Structure 1
Amino acid sequence: MLKNLTGKTAFVTGGAHGIGRGIVEALRLAGARTAFCDINTELGEATARAAGADFYPADVADADALCNALEAACERFGDIDILVNNAGISEFSPLAETSLEQFDRILAVNLRPVFVTAQWMAARRNTPEGRTRYGRIINIASTRWLQSEPGSEGYAASKGGIVSLTHALALSFSDYNVTVNCISPGWIDNGNFGSISEQDRRQHPSGRVGRPADIARACLFLADPKNDFINGQNLVVDGGMTKKMIYCE
């Protein structure tokens, strides 16, 4: 799939580091003109220099700031063909101690921007010519959409919402040449492999924890112009962990 996205334009939310940076780098290597936003200006500028991408500082919880970043990228590149909704936060706390403001903030960062960017694309493409243009929306969810630990209510709700919103959006975009899919990563290490034990690795059927590049390659697969028959799906990339039966010993 190398260079199969030449001539396409991509926009990634939360692209400054971790999985987001891996996606930005992969899209650039595949030939896509790539822009991204992030709240971390220092890391965003570093990623932009390293990847050859355009960076727009923005807090995705601010819908106006997010749409302004999308519009700025359009002014530079003409249009956005591929939207990757990657931005997210994880804040775990005991249920009795979790504030409503904390819960709302997680949804505002993780879930609401998926709707905001999709609505923006639908409005922009809502012309006879626009409805025929190639387009891809790829949302980053999590295996926590169906598995949880105590104190993860906000995160689980946001990721479950992304999976459900993905198939709803796929139907809403059925009159457009736009597919909508999501990816649910499992344990992805963002650079701390030194702290991962052999037991951590062995518990995965694949024999290791994930890397950002694993998710980036899945994005390239879904973005491939030939893969237009994959739509409304949730692709789990977790080394097989969600298929493993686990009992306490």
Structure 2
Amino acid sequence: MDIALLGEVMVGKLLEAGLLHSYADIYRLEQRRDEVRCLVIEQQRKTDGGAKTVRVEFGEKRTATLLKGIEESKSRPLSRVLTALGIRHVGANTAELLAEHFGTMDAIAAATEESLQEVAGIGPEVAASVVKWFASEAGRKTIAELKAVGVNMTQPKRRRAAGELPLAGKTVVVTGTLANYDRKQIEQRIKDLGGKVSSSVSKNTDFVLAGEAPGSKLDKAQALGVKVLSEADFEALIRS
């Protein structure tokens, strides 16, 4: 949700202090303001002998900034909330597709795998993951608690045409081993986002997605001047 001062380290401190047990507890921290203020954090300070790590209280000023950011995050669009839930296969781009198509969290929660796949860019694997999460007790509880603390659950609908998908009209060749996808998953992901997967590199290839140990396809792409993307480059492209 991009809340100021609520990074990984701070979340860890809040968990250690017993102040967080669920997503919704973030929005209850105002009620425990004094405990947040008294949390001890580590800071780097310059001294004559170089940088030194010191332990200080989180303090009132930081607490005020944190709580203000938390309050402001309640009004973020539905897509940002979906992304923050950590649903498998639902990153920022997929969350945007779902939010724009369905418009409300309740509509997404009620969607079937078939209706989810009617959204351009959503394939069977993503659809199954979304249905499974919203059908789980933990998923239902999380949404109910976030609603209760006032987190926004809506976003204006906007149906994307197939041509608006990030890989629309692109021919992609995949080579090597990827960290976050097996071959079937990445090929489905490319298709879901409007692209076409090819097994061989040619002058008509738009780009090659290269993982570890890419082999001869990478050599051919470089010889033909075809653009080569790493897995990180690919993720950045589909989020743009």
**TM-score per shorter chain, which class?**
under 0.3
TM-score of the two chains, using structure 1 as the length reference: 0.24
TM-score of the two chains, using structure 2 as the length reference: 0.25
Bigger share in helix: 2
Larger-gyration structure (1/2):
2
